Amino acid sequence: MDLTFNKNEDHNKLKLSELRKILAEVKLGGGKKRIEKLHAQGKMTARERIEYLLDNNSASIEIGAFAGEGMYAEHGGCPSGGVVVKIGYVKGKQCVVVANDATVKAGAWFPITGKKNLRAQEIAMENRLPIIYLVDSAGVYLPMQDEIFPDKEHFGRIFRNNAIMSSMGITQIAAVMGSCVAGGAYLPIMSDEALIVDKTGSIFLAGSYLVKAAIGESIDNETLGGATTHSEISGVTDYKAKDDKDALDRIKNIVDKIGDFEKAGYNRAEAKSPIDNPEDIYGLLPSSRSDQYDMLEIIKRLVDNSEFEQYKEGYGKTILTGYARIDGWAVGIVANQRKVVKTKQGEMQFGGVIYSDSADKATRFIANCNQKKIPLVFLQDVTGFMVGSKSEHGGIIKDGAKMVNAVSNSVVPKFTIVIGNSYGAGNYAMCGKAYDPRLIVAWPSAELAVMSGNSAAKVLLQIEKASLEKNGEPLDPEKETALFDKIKQRYDHQISPYYAAARLWTDAIIDPLDTRKWISMGIEAANHAPIEKKFNLGVLQV
C-alpha cells in the first residue's frame, strides 16, 4: 500500500478509536455510582435489561446512542437522551426495545428524550415491528417542561402513537420496572399488555405527596400504585413479576407466541462477503473532506462478492447508480462519485457535485427501483448541485427538482449512509433525514451542514467584516485571520457527526465495517411492512 493509503488508514482508525471512547462513556449513563445504587435496589440498568431480553449472540443495532451528547450541560447532561433504544431479536423475532435509563435524572424526559422515543415509535410503525417498553421514569423533566409538554411532536404524541399502533395491529408490550408517574402512566396502559415488577414498579397519576397536598389523603406509594394494587385491585396491569428478570422472561414468552407477519417480499439470496477486503475502506477514505477518491472502490467493499452492476455507467458520472446485494438483499445504490470525471464531450466535472446529467440519471434509476420493488441505499459524499451560468441556463434547478421529487415519492424503503460531506441541497437529493430514510447513519468521517466549515467561515467573515467597516472599525490582516479562525472553529463544531447525532439528525455514528449489518437489519425490518402506495411522481417538469 502507498503512503497516502497508510496516512488515511491511521487517520480513520483514530476517528474510530475516538468513537469507541465516547460511546463507552455514553453507555455509563448517569455514572457508576448511580448504577451501583440501582443494583442495590435489586434493579438492572436499562442496558442490562435489554441485553438480558435480546437473544444471546444475536445481532442488534442501537438507535440514538449519542442523543443529547454535549447538550443540557447546565442541567447536568442527558447521556443517550436518558433512554436506550435498540432493534434486535427476541425469540427470533425482530423487535424495537425502548428502555428508560433511571441513572439519568431518574429516567426523566428531556426534550431530546421525547424526540428519541418518537423516533423509536416511528421505526416500529414504518416497519410494523413489535415494540417493547421497559418503563422506569420520573416523568417530564420539570425545569424544561415547556420544551417537552404541549407541542405536536412533544410528550403527548407518544400516547397518540400508542393508540395508532394498536389500530395498526402492531404489538406493544410494556413492563413497569420502576417509577411510572403522571402522564407517563398512560404509556404502559395504552400498550397491548402491561407487566409490573413487585416492590420496585409503581404506576400513578400523582404520587403520595401530591395526593396529600391535593386532597388531604395520607397513603404510601406502594398501596397507592404498586404491583399488588394494580394486579389484584385496579386490574390496570396484566402480570405481576417478582423481579426484573422474571418480567423480562415473561416478555420473552409473550413474544414467542406472536404469529408470523405478511412480508413485503424484497428479494434475498444467499449472503456472500465482499471479495475486496472491507478493512481497505480505512485507507481508501481520505483524511481531508476536500480530497478526491473513487467511490466505486468503497462500494466494492460493501456489497456481496464485490459485484456492482452499474446503470448508465457512461452517463452522469458524478453519481454512481447500480444494482448489488448486501448480505443477500437486493439493493439499488445511489452514490456520489468523489473523483473528477470526464464527460464524452471532454468536459471535466468535479467529484461530489451533482450535475444535470447525474440528477437525471439518478431520477430514472430511483424510478426503476420502485418499479422492481428494490430497496434503495444512498451513499452520501456530496457538496451540492453545480452552480454558475452554464448550469443555471442548462436547467440545473429543474433537474435537481426531479431528483428530489423521485426521492420524496419513492415507496420502497430507503437507507442513507453519510460517508463524507452532506452539504446543502445535496443532502436533500441524496435522501437526508427530511426524506424519510428508514435508517440514516454516519461514518466518523461525516460532515453535515449547509456548506463546508471553510466556505461558511469565508461567507460569515465577509458579513462580519462589512458590518465592522460600516461602523468605522476596519480589520487589519491579523485580526481578520483571528476572526476567520474563530468563526470556522464554531462552524466546524456544528458540522461534526456528533453534533448531528446528538440532535437525532442521524440514527447513529457507526464503524464503516458495520454498514452491511445496518442495511441488512434495516431491510429485514422493512420486509415486515408491505408497500401500500404506488410510486407516483405527480406533476413533473420534463
What are the residues facing 193 on neighbouring strands?
A: 173
The backbone torsions φ and ψ at residue 52, rounded to the nearest 5 degrees and listed phi first, read -70, -35
Q: Is 460 exposed, middle or buried (0-12, 13-18, 19+ CB in 10 A)?
A: middle
Rounded to 10°, the helix 477-495/453-470 angle is 140
Rounded to 10°, the helix 111-127/156-168 angle is 10
Name which of 315, 531, 521, 312 is nearest 415 in CA terms: 521
| Cα–Cα distance for residue pair 527/327, rounded to 1 Å | 14
| Cα–Cα distance for residue pair 375/34, rounded to 1 Å | 43
Name which of 210, 313, 282 is nearest 11 in CA terms: 282
Q: Per residue in 23-43, is it b (16+ CB within 10 Å) or e — as a string?
A: beebbebbeeebbeebeeeeb
The backbone torsions φ and ψ at residue 377, rounded to the nearest 5 degrees and listed phi first, read -120, 125
> What is the pLDDT at residue 1?
59
Fold adopted by 279-446+506-528:
2-enoyl-CoA Hydratase; Chain A, domain 1 (3.90.226)
DSSP 198-250: TTT-EEESS-HHHHHHHH-----HHHHHSHHIIIIIS---SEEESSHHHHHHH
Nine-digit cell string for 261 = 407477519
> What is the pLDDT at residue 295?
98
Name which of 43, 187, 188, 190 is nearest 102 in CA terms: 43
| Cα–Cα distance for residue pair 501/246, rounded to 1 Å | 34
| Cα–Cα distance for residue pair 515/302, rounded to 1 Å | 7
Nine-digit cell string for 229 = 394494587
| Residue-by-residue pLDDT tens, the chain, 542 positions | 589 999 999 999 999 999 999 999 999 999 999 999 999 999 999 999 999 999 999 999 999 999 999 999 999 999 999 999 999 999 999 999 999 999 999 999 999 999 999 999 999 999 999 999 999 998 888 889 888 888 888 888 999 999 999 999 999 999 999 988 876 778 888 999 999 999 999 998 888 888 888 999 899 889 988 999 999 999 999 999 999 999 999 999 999 999 999 999 999 999 999 999 999 999 999 999 989 999 999 999 999 999 999 999 999 999 999 999 999 999 999 999 999 998 888 888 988 999 999 999 999 999 999 999 999 999 999 999 988 888 887 788 998 999 999 999 999 999 999 999 999 899 999 999 999 999 999 999 999 987 777 777 787 788 877 887 788 877 778 877 887 888 888 888 889 999 999 999 999 999 999 999 999 999 999 999 999 999 998 876 55
Fold adopted by 31-256:
2-enoyl-CoA Hydratase; Chain A, domain 1 (3.90.226)
Contact residues for 132 (Cβ-Cβ < 8 A; gap 6+): 53, 90, 95, 96, 97, 98, 172, 173, 174, 175, 251, 255
Any alpha helices (H) in 279-341, and if so which ranges? 281-284, 295-300
Q: Per residue in 258-271, is it b (16+ CB within 10 Å) or e — as a string?
A: eeebeebebeeeee
| Cα–Cα distance for residue pair 250/246, rounded to 1 Å | 6
Residues forming CATH 3.90.226.10 domain(s) in the chain: 31-256, 279-446+506-528
> What is the pLDDT at residue 182?
73
The backbone torsions φ and ψ at residue 134, rounded to the nearest 5 degrees and listed phi first, read -110, 100
The backbone torsions φ and ψ at residue 535, rounded to the nearest 5 degrees and listed phi first, read -70, 120
Nine-digit cell string for 473 = 472599525
> What is the pLDDT at residue 541?
58
| Cα–Cα distance for residue pair 410/165, rounded to 1 Å | 23
